Amino acid sequence: MFGNLFEEDYSSVSNSQYGKGKKLKTKGLEPPAPRELTNLSGIRNQGGTCYLNSLLQTLHFTPEFREALFSLGPEELGSLEDKDKPDAKVRVIPLQLQRLFAQLLLLDQEAASTTDLTDSFGWTSDEEMRQHDVQELNRILFSALETSLVGTSGHDLINRLYHGTIVNQIVCKECKNISERQEDFLDLTVAVKNVSGLEDALWNMYVEEEVFDYENLYHCGTCDRLVKAAKSELDDMEYMYDLFSVIIHKGGCYGGHYHVYIKDVDHLGNWQCQEEISDKDMNLKALQNEEEADDPVVILKTILLQEEANQIPVDQLGQKLLKKTGISWNKKYRKQHGPLRKFLQLHPHVFLLSIDESTVSLLRNHLTQAPSDLLRNPEQILHIPTSETPGLNDNTSCPHWFDINDSKVQPIKEKDITQQFQGKESAYMLFYRKAKLLRPPEARANPRYRVPYHLLKEMDAANIQLQMQRAECDSANNNFELHLHLGPHYHFFNGALHPTVSQTDSVWDLTFDKRKTLGDLRQAIFQLLELWEGDMVLSVAKRVPAGLHVYHTLDGDELTLCEAEIADGEDIFVWNGVEVGGVQIQTGSDCEPVLLHILHLEMSGDSSKCEQLVESAHVFPANAEVGSVLTALAIPVGVILRNREESADEECWTAIPKEDMKTTFREQGLRNGSLILVQDSESDNSLLPKQGRWTNSVNELNWLQVKNFCQLESEEKQVQIAVTVHTVVFDIRIKAIKELKLMKELAENSCLRPIDRNGKLLCPVPDTSTLEEAEVKMGSSLGLCLGKAPTSSQLFLFFALGTDIYPGAEMEVIVEETLSVRDCLKIMLEKSGQQGEMWHLRKMDWCYEAGEPLCEEDATLKELMICSGDTLLLTEGRLPPPGFLKVPIWWYQPTRLSGHCESRDYSNCASSQSSSWGAAPTQGVPGPEPTEVSLLYLGDVEISEEATLVELKSQAMALPFVSKLAIRSTALLRVWTVESKRPSRLLRPDWQQLKEYRLGQRAELCLELLQKEEDLGPQDVLLRTRLRIPGERAYTLAMDLVWDTTRGWTASSLRQRVADFYCLPVEKIEIAKYFPEKFEWLPISSWNQQVAKRKKKKNQDTLQGGPYYLKDGDTIGIKNLLFDDDDDFSTIRDDIGKENQKQLALGKKKSREALRVQSNSDVFSNAGMSTQPRGPEASLSIRVASFR
């Protein structure tokens, strides 16, 4: 039911940044943004980790937890620098938590990263993209911390801070004997439905007295008989607790997002609500009517107050002034006050310029508009985190609340918190502190309090590095890319400008500093165009479908590019300002060319002289009259009809009235690509087809479809039942039995089961539930089936045999939720007709993938959180003991020339085709292996997780197939993990324990036999290289190449290694990586060795990242340019593979269309209902090393 309950909701993310026609700058190399006004740091979302971020912020803002963690030094936890050493016991999880908390306290960045922490959890990228329950994470994280801190002074940290006890008392009414039972807890779960508040919920759940009487008597040990008794929990009145964190889930059952409200106990953040900020904002238009409007200080302060973080680049400040007031700084203030940057320098008591004077912000006093005692020392502002005053309004000693939503931190008022829990947003997990806990004065507003010295030193160094990176990045980002269109290379044709020569010759790209002026730009262009004669006018142009159009001329040589509102990637037309190629050019947005598609009748060119419908493209200025269409087509009198597309499947034609023929194309709303129909009014033939409209009047579904699955004869197979969300399921079932004209006896032995989109019957719906409670959607289908629905204490489970589930292979069973896994297994074996004890159960997710085995056979289904509707898999074979792995072993032997790389002289091969290529594969045999690799199953190996890779190889060598090969040494075997029936990850080194590889219970391995022993280092990458045969679309057999990446994963390094290996000049080879799943080759060029335009140094891009993602076992094709200089790396098999994929995709598309047509023909189909596919359900775990 909760398949993707915790998936991130990205519906609010705008896609406006993907603008067309503009060159986007990558921000991958930019340093993280500094902290905002709150002076608190958020945490970046890795894709689905908002639940983790909310919990980590709560623990970080728990002073007792944070300081207890900081109290553990390197002598107890070890050092992260030693984590890869084989004998070092480094407690990585608490160390990474310490480091993350130090970053949240001290590092000047808008949001911290949890990548290192989740890596210490043993999570993969898939787990970081998948969301889970925050309460489940809380318990698992606490358990992992307890395990990590065994043997340290913090071994009882969790128990000391979060442990509680519930005392259950049962008092005998006869002898007054009191029986007590204690239960430990770390958190309490309460039902909040139909209660007035949390106190009532706690009272109902844990304090309210429960009476044992009548049929529910209690057996008293003292009386030795059944008696009346009363049960209650002791009410702990010793402590009062204050709420300090509220983790909130926003969304519905099938999607949502977590964020957290936190009380800043130590006053670490600057608190100021948006209401107070907005009160300080001034309306510039209103200021224009006051004397203050002439004061540039007031104007600039107002603009900065309206900016996020009250900070803006100096170049954009002048641009903002022009937009807000309609007049530039140079025209209004320059004569009296000088240039803008100089004015800011002369007012240091109000404005703060950055070190390189590229950005400006308000001093903190001016954020609250304090009239005096301004901060004059800029160092206090530049040193971000400090122990400065906790809030902008230092008028309260009470802690303030903040809303922390991943990277975003915003203040919130305590009285407003109760108003936030409406709609789909609700408090999910609450954290309390004892009210008597007081913080020391030195901890107030002091983020460095109790932080270990080595972390303080690390954070200070990181802050210095960040400042240097920001200064460097800010300098590099001041360059614009401009596209210069040279007027002499253009001519005016068909309503727009078009190049007379190639696009390359008519457009020049220019990199220019945006802080320079238009005069500087004009001078630079003059120097580029040495032969230019006459006036030079620069105008902003834009590519439109009709061609190039000139908009406005750039005036004011004293303006900077930003003040002139020139954007990065702007098109600049260079001309004389009057004509192009002897044709006078109209400029401006009013006359922008519009490309229209016109349908009209023309006489056919053949002898039949009949009229035929022709579509032609015509360009008109946007301010031209609509009637000019008739002139362009030489039709004296006619009717113009425009097409209004109301849906994708229909066309609606509307005639433009005669009185509107004088209106412009823009006034009629006609734009590029619009379709119009022109008909001669003297013609009797109508070009308009008969119109038919499809209208859907079903605005709200108020019915359910019930199908007969009782295997009983009936006149009706399905009926439609009118319902509301409050209709009880029992009433629907009885009404369906009556309308289907079935036997009345079915009322006692039938149930309703939802039907999913694939026609599968789901778990029965309880009779006592309403449709809203059962989460049954209006317009959906239910199946009337034999058998009663499970009771509240029973589970309805699906189960199947084998390793995969196929449609129709599932069986069903109803069991008690208190049943043990062992007893449930026996029932399922009996029902499926299987015998023996060599079986175990695995839980399936909704992707029909086998999950982890249910190892605790004595645990109940309820304890393992098995729910109704879950699918269990009966798998043959006993489970390995705890701490052991049962690993399937496969045999893999790729075709290659040798088992190890050596430097060989291939220069002769490359120069003599007649001798070297005689033994090459036949044409069409590609270099890489096919998509489906042939693997031979050898058997299973049961081995301890503490064993090393060498020991695994030794056991695998004892398998029958391998033992026949008489392999001399384990060094002659490579071990790969198997994913998607292909070798995936190369395991090394041999001395490492299996648990360090994080294989998991479902891991499969394959062995590869070598001809020569090898010992790969940690920086070595194993690649399969194949040399392309000149003149043929084929490759030689594979050669294993070991590439030492100590000096980096750069393309030039790999090219040099390949060239050395094949004894070829590096400038005479081309290499490409093969993607077998796509049958595609991606050339690897020296892109990372090109000098960047904005940074005069080499980019440090890595082949480990996109788009190559290079790893062990990848296939690299090599082309010798001395004999093969074409750009093609593909083979005939690639063509065949792509064609097969294309046909497969086409077949799937046809199948979907056929299914859609079939579903549309069903009157009871779930039309209009939006169903979101459920994501895979996955268990949450944190892997911890043993420190006992």
Closest by Cα among 1115, 724, 676 to 930: 1115
Q: Tell me the C-alpha distance between 308 and 321, whole Å.
A: 16
DSSP-derived secondary structure for 483-529: EEEEGGGEEEETTEEEESS-HHHHEEEEEEETTSBHHHHHHHHHHH-
Strand intervals (E) in 703-845: 703-708, 718-722, 750-754, 781-786, 794-801, 811-816, 839-844
Cα separations in angstroms, 816 against 318, 830, 911: 73, 16, 77
Pair of tokens at residue 244: 């300090």
The 3-class SS string of 73-134 reads CHHHHCCHHHCCCCCCCCCHHHHHHHHHHHHHHHCCCCEECCHHHHHHHCCCHHHHHCCCCH
Angle at 1082 between CA 1081 and CA 1088, to 5 degrees: 160
Pair of tokens at residue 702: 């108020």
Determine contact, residues 97/19, Cβ cutoff 8 Å: no
CB atoms within 10 A of CB 714: 16
DSSP-derived secondary structure for 600-664: EEEE-SSTT--EEEEEEEEEEETTSBTTHHHHHTT-SSEEEEEEEEEETTEEEEEEPPGGGTTSB
Q: Tell me the C-alpha distance between 913 and 1030, whole Å.
A: 8
State yes or no: is 267 an active-site residue: no
Angle at 538 between CA 532 and CA 539, to 5 degrees: 140
State yes or no: is 50 an active-site residue: yes
Q: Tell me the C-alpha distance between 863 and 884, whole Å.
A: 23
Indicate which residue of 60, 132, 249, 257 is catalytic.
257
Cα separations in angstroms, 410 against 44, 260, 381, 446: 15, 11, 20, 20
Q: Tell me the C-alpha distance between 989 and 1017, whole Å.
A: 8
Alpha helices by DSSP H, 673-779: 729-739
Task: Determine the 3-state secondary structure of 139 from DSSP.
Answer: helix
Q: In whole angstroms, what separates CA 394 from the centre of its chain?
A: 40
Q: Tell me the C-alpha distance between 872 and 854, whole Å.
A: 10
Determine contact, residues 460/383, Cβ cutoff 8 Å: no
Closest by Cα among 1032, 1033, 1118, 1102 to 1069: 1118
Residues 6+ apart with CB under 8 A from 396: none
CB atoms within 10 A of CB 1156: 11
Beta bridge partners of 1073: 1082, 1116
Task: Determine the 3-state secondary structure of 822 from DSSP.
Answer: helix
Give the up-direction half-sphere exposure of residue 831: CA atoms within 13 A in the CB hemisphere: 18
Angle at 285 between CA 280 and CA 288, to 5 degrees: 100
By CB atoms closer than 10 A (0-12, 13-18, 19+), residue 447 is buried
Beta bridge partners of 943: 885
Residue given tokens 């009210």 in the structure block: 435
Task: Determine the 3-state secondary structure of 990 from DSSP.
Answer: coil
Q: Tell me the C-alpha distance between 872 and 549, whole Å.
A: 66
Residue 335 DSSP label: H
Indicate which residue of 50, 562, 751, 824 is catalytic.
50
Give the up-direction half-sphere exposure of residue 930: CA atoms within 13 A in the CB hemisphere: 11
Q: Which residues are catalytic?
A: 50, 257
